[in-house]
């Protein structure tokens, strides 16, 4: 049975399995008279938000259960979305294939062998219509993990909503749109930093007027952690990216309180449960202070660090993959105890292949069991006051502040990336972590200890090679049917806007409405902006 919005309303009385009443909030007995304690911790929903961005947290409404999914064709992905919604998922999260992520059409030479492999293939508005067929976009929020081509995918989403008769004013969701971390840790960039930052601020300005409920960026530490950073580096580099985006927006004349409430973040959750809880609490505290003290934000929502969490893909093992269910459970628990706003739990088989329907269901059920059976959602910030948790929170806060000071001394995040400082720091941490594994200082169950002889795992999901051929034929058909003159005119106007100072979003939207392809739009921008080439770090 699918969940509805009313299913998220929480019961008024909370009790343990033994019928003992659970209070909404707990403090040490002397905390209410301790001004130093209250200045750091305070109440949830109040500055500096250490204990959460909402006063009631999960007692009022559970986090959004947003399973990341997408593979092969739009038709196949649409079926998976409907399946997950029927199983109780409460938000969509779209995974795109590599060509879509870096702005190439499925029929380009660069796309060969990659179509539909790590996500769904999207070439034109026709694909997007199929992807969300039968899914009312005014009733569901959608997250799209897309960065260098984020403006195009957002325009496609708006155009699909229009086809459904839904105003962009009603759309809720998120685009990742975090290009700086692509230069640091992930690599799906297209344009150099300066034009990329222009596109991002154009999105901020456009959405403020036309898509006001949309989260215009999800500033991502997830991939930084996956690349090998420490917990403090994950937060420090992510918040430094956030500072760069805010500075860029302010520089082009946007008022901080007009766009900052729609900023969101995206963090990793590792298996070191208590450090992760402290990390999330520290991140909220540091960001609140940055927005208040550095940028002078007045709106309380501008000070709130709202974040999505995904369990750590890099910790999943191909050996004894059933163990990954336990790892993911611990990581999900850390995210919930740390106060996440939405959560994706990885599937047990993702070290080997895309998740099967069964493993995706187990991953979702993990969240549901934590939500409804564990009791951890029934009081706010349940680990607050633990000597260890508070010490971790303070330590990470101090380390994050030091990292941001170092970034500032280098001239800001863009300059720190260009100089290779951030990349080198992550590489050093990743090397140390791997050394710990190889020396058995860190035990990875089933990998360097408790190893067993295993059989080949059967029943893995495989994307058929025919997907690419079918997708290319579909794209050719759309190009034959569409109004070629309208496409040409839209792309010419987009190029002119890119050469000038006009906001690019209305021109991209006109192009996708005419069924211009992602590759055609991104190639038009490539002609003006060029492509980014990564520097070699020695």
Task: Indicate whether 455 belongs to any domain.
Answer: no
What pLDDT, on a 0 to 100 scale, did the predictor assign at position 29?
66
Nearest residue to 251 (alpha-carbon basis) of 287, 305, 205: 205
> Are 264 and 239 a contacting pair, CB within 8 Å?
no
Count of structural domains, the chain:
2
Q: How confident is the model at residue 354 (pLDDT cuts 50, 70, 90)?
A: confident
Which range has the worst mean pLDDT, 63-72, 148-157, 357-366?
Answer: 63-72
- Whole-number Å distance between alpha carbons of 264 and 472: 35
Q: Which DSSP string corresponds to 360-406?
A: HHHHHHHHHHHHHHSSTTSSSSTTTT-HHHHHHHHHHHHHHHHHHHH
Mean pLDDT within 358-373: 96
User: For residues 274 and 189, what is the distance between their CA atoms, to the nearest angstrom?
Assistant: 34
The pTM assigned to this predicted structure is 0.91
- Span 125-136, average pLDDT: 97
Same-domain pairing of 480 and 369? no
Q: Could you read off the pLDDT of 297-326 as tens digits, one per residue?
A: 999 999 999 999 999 999 999 999 999 999
Are both 404 and 516 inside the same structural domain?
no
pLDDT at 333 over 70: yes
Q: What confidence tier does 456 reach under pLDDT thresholds 50, 70, 90?
A: confident
Which domain does 205 fall in, by range?
Answer: 5-438
Q: What is the mean pLDDT of residues 61-68?
A: 94
Residue (of 367, 375, 261, 361) closest to 310 by Cα position: 367
Specify if 37 maps to a domain.
Answer: yes
pLDDT(2) > 60: no
DSSP 470-519: HHHHHHHHHHHHS-HHHHHHHHHHHHHHHHSSS-SHHHHHHHHHTT--HH
CA distance 508 to 156: 9
Q: Of 319, 302, 188, nearest to 250 (Cα)?
A: 302
Per-residue confidence (pLDDT) for residue 495, from 0 to 100: 98
**Band of pLDDT at residue 7, cut at 50, 70 and 90:** very low
Same domain, 384 and 253: yes
Picking from 438, 459, 479, the residue at the C-terminal end of a domain is 438
Instruction: Using the predicted structure, report yes or no on whether residue 3 has a pLDDT greater than 50.
Output: no
- Report whether pLDDT(163) > 80: yes
Residue 460 lies in a domain: no
Predicted confidence (pLDDT) at residue 538 exceeds the cutoff of 50:
no
CA geometry: angle 154, 158, 164, nearest 5 deg? 145
Q: Is residue 424 part of a domain?
A: yes
Neighbouring C-beta atoms of residue 237, cutoff 10 Å: 29
**496 and 427 fall within a common domain:** no
> Residue 360: inside a domain, yes or no?
yes
Residue 513 in this model has a pLDDT that exceeds 60:
yes
* Secondary structure letter of residue 237 according to DSSP: H
pLDDT value of position 28: 73
What's the mean pLDDT when you consider all of the chain? 93
Express each pLDDT in 237-267 by its tens digit: 999 999 999 999 999 999 999 999 999 999 9
Do both 409 and 519 map to the same domain? no
| pLDDT value of residue 5 | 43
Q: How confident is the model at residue 25, as a pLDDT? A: 84
pLDDT at 11: 64
- Over residues 231-239, the mean pLDDT reads 98
pLDDT, one tens digit per residue, over 9-21 is 566 678 888 788 8
Query: Is 443 contained in some domain?
Result: no
> What is the C-alpha separation between 198 and 308, in angstroms, rounded?
25
Domain containing residue 152: CATH number: 3.20.20.240
Instruction: Tell me whether residue 51 is in a domain.
Output: yes
Average pLDDT over residues 483-511: 98
Q: Are residues 407 and 476 in the same domain?
A: no
482 and 396 part of one domain: no
Q: In this structure, are 401 and 311 located in the same domain?
A: yes
Q: Are residues 399 and 473 in the same domain?
A: no
* Distance (Å) of CA 463 to CA 93, 97, 356, 474: 19, 12, 11, 17
What is the arithmetic mean of pLDDT over 516-521? 98
- Tell me: do 16 and 156 sit in the same domain: yes
In the predicted structure, residue 40 carries a pLDDT above the cut 90:
no
Q: Are residues 153 and 25 in the same domain?
A: yes
Residue 537 in this model has a pLDDT that exceeds 60: no
**What is the DSSP-derived secondary structure letter of residue 290?**
I
- The verdict on 257 and 297 lying in the same domain is yes
Three-state secondary structure string covering 245-273:
HHHHHHHCCCCHHHHHHHEEEEEEECCCH
- The count of other CB atoms within 10 Å of the CB of residue 82 is 15
Query: pLDDT, tens digit, for every residue of 174-195?
Result: 999 999 999 998 899 999 999 9
Q: Is residue 177 part of a domain?
A: yes
Cβ-contact 164, 113 below 8 angstroms: no
């Amino acid at each position: 049975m699918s969940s509805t919005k009313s299913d998220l309303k929480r019961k008024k009385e909370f009790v343990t399995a033994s019928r003992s009443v659970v209070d909404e909030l707990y403090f040490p007995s002397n905390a209410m008279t301790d001004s130093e304690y209250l200045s750091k911790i305070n109440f949830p929903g109040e500055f500096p938000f250490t204990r959460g961005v909402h006063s009631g947290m999960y007692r009022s409404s559970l986090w959004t259960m947003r399973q990341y999914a997408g593979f092969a064709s739009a038709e196949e992905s649409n079926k998976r979305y409907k399946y997950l919604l029927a199983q109780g998922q409460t938000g969509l999260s779209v995974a795109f294939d590599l060509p879509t992520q870096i702005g190439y059409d499925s029929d380009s030479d660069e796309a060969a062998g990659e179509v539909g492999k790590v996500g769904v293939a999207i070439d034109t508005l026709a694909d997007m219509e199929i992807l969300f067929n039968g899914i009312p976009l005014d009733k569901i929020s959608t997250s799209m993990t897309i960065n260098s081509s984020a403006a195009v995918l957002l325009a496609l989403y708006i155009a699909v909503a229009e086809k459904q008769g839904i105003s962009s004013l009603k759309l809720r969701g998120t685009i990742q749109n975090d290009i700086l971390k692509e230069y640091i840790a992930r690599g799906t960039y297209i344009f150099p930093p300066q034009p990329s930052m222009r596109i991002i601020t154009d999105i901020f300005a456009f959405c403020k007027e036309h898509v006001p409920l949309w989260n215009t960026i999800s500033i991502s530490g997830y991939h930084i952690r996956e690349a090998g950073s420490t917990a403090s580096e994950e937060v420090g580099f992510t918040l430094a990216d956030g500072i760069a985006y805010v500075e860029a927006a302010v520089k082009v004349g946007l008022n901080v309180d007009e766009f900052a409430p729609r900023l969101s973040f995206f963090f990793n959750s590792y298996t070191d449960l208590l450090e992760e809880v402290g990390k999330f609490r520290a991140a909220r505290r540091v960001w609140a202070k940055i927005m208040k003290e550095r940028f002078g934000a007045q709106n309380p929502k501008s000070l709130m660090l709202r974040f999505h969490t995904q369990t750590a893909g890099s910790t999943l093992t191909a050996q004894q993959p059933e163990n990954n269910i336990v790892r993911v459970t611990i990581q999900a628990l850390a995210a919930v105890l740390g106060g996440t706003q939405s959560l994706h739990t990885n599937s047990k088989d993702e070290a080997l292949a895309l998740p099967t329907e069964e493993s995706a269901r187990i991953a979702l059920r993990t969240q549901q069991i934590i939500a409804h059976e564990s009791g951890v959602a029934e009081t706010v910030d349940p680990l607050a006051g633990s000597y260890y948790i508070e010490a971790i929170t303070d330590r990470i806060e101090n380390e994050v502040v030091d990292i941001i000071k170092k970034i500032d001394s280098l001239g800001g995040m863009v300059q720190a990336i260009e100089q290779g400082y951030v990349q080198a720091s992550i590489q050093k941490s990743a090397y140390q972590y791997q050394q710990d594994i190889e020396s058995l200082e860190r035990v990875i169950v089933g990998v360097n200890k408790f190893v067993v002889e295993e059989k080949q795992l059967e029943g893995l999901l495989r994307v058929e090679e025919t997907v690419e051929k079918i997708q290319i034929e579909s794209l050719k058909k759309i190009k034959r049917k569409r109004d070629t003159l309208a496409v040409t005119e839209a792309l010419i106007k987009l190029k002119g806007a890119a050469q000038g100072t006009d906001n690019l979003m209305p021109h991209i939207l006109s192009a996708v409405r005419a069924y211009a392809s992602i590759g055609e739009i991104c190639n038009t921008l490539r002609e003006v902006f060029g492509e980014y080439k990564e520097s070699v770090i020695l």
